[in-house]
Amino acid sequence: MVIFILFVIVAFSNNYKIFIDYIQLVIVVVFLLNSIAIITGCYYGKMLDLSTLNGRTIAIETGIQNSGLGLIIIFTFMEGIGRMAIVAAWWGIWYIITGFFLAFLWTKPIRAYA
């Protein structure tokens, strides 16, 4: 987590102007992509007649896009292209927020079955 946070700080600090210019578009696109991925994961679990726990696992895993790896690739092979770094960094931040929220939301009912 610490390494990812450092990558995010570097991405934002090196591309602050780009961040300001494109932040509205980036927020919308990342929100939509994350929402679609999580909802799709939920429906695949139901479609495959999996348990609630397994369906939730698929939803979380589908929603995870490895933004840390994306940032490493962007900085290593693509000279830190600003727009790409901002999207990958924001994706990571947003997924941390939604991932923790879903984990918190879904943990209580699962504990009731244990």
Say if residue 14's pLDDT is above 80: no
Question: Measuring CA to CA, which residue among 98, 87, 114, 77 is closest to residue 19?
Answer: 87
Q: What is the pLDDT of residue 47?
A: 92
Q: Does position 113 have pLDDT exceeding 60, yes or no?
A: no
Strand ranges in 3-113 using DSSP code E only, listed in sequence order: none
Determine the Cα–Cα distance for residues 48 and 100; give it in Å rounded to an integer: 25
- pLDDT at position 65: 64
Q: What is the pLDDT of residues 81-111, one digit of tens each?
A: 666 777 777 777 888 888 888 888 888 755 5
- Which of 65, 87, 69 lies closest to 77, judged by CA? 69
Q: First vs last Cα of the chain: how many Å apart?
A: 29
- Asked whether residue 30 carries a pLDDT value surpassing 70, the answer given is yes
pTM of the model: 0.67
Angle at 75 between CA 72 and CA 79, to 5 degrees: 155
Mean pLDDT for all residues in the chain: 78
| pLDDT over 90, % of the chain | 3
Residues 6+ apart with CB under 8 A from 99: 60, 63, 64
Cα separation, 30 vs 17, in Å, equals 19
